[in-house]
């Protein structure tokens, strides 16, 4: 049991809120997978390199879901460190 009840609420907000935001972003990413440009369809089909094992690589666009997930993780980590430092909470 914690000495201060507010700390429990802060933990719930810091852990639950980013998780819910991630789930929403990931769900949106499943619906719209990447930034679409004029040559996206052509780049998805064009084989750039073929390996001896039969694998081939394409110069496809970077998925939107990964872009938002990486950016969100970096932003959350920055603000987590900032808020933890401002509030003087010991980790």
Candidates 29, 17, 36, 15; CA nearest to 66 is 29
Q: What pLDDT does 3 receive?
A: 67
**Which distant-in-sequence residues (6+ apart) come within 8 Å of 47 by Cβ?**
56, 57, 58
What is the per-residue pLDDT for 21?
A: 87
Which is more confidently placed, 51 or 89? Answer: 51
65 by DSSP, 3-state: which?
helix
pLDDT tens track for 32-80: 666 677 777 777 777 788 888 888 887 767 777 778 788 989 999 999 8
Q: Domain limits of the chain?
A: 5-87
* Whole-number Å distance between alpha carbons of 4 and 6: 6
Return the pLDDT at 39. Answer: 76
Other C-beta atoms closer than 10 Å to the C-beta of 22 total 15
């Amino acid at each position: 049991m914690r000495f201060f009840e507010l700390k429990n609420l802060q933990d719930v907000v810091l852990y639950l809120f980013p998780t819910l935001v991630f789930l929403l972003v990931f769900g949106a990413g499943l619906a719209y997978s990447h930034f679409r440009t004029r040559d996206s369809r052509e780049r998805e089909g064009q084989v750039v390199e073929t390996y001896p094992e039969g694998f081939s690589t394409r110069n496809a666009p970077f998925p939107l879901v990964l872009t938002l997930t990486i950016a969100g993780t970096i932003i959350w980590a920055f603000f987590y460190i900032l808020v933890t430092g401002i509030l003087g909470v010991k980790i």
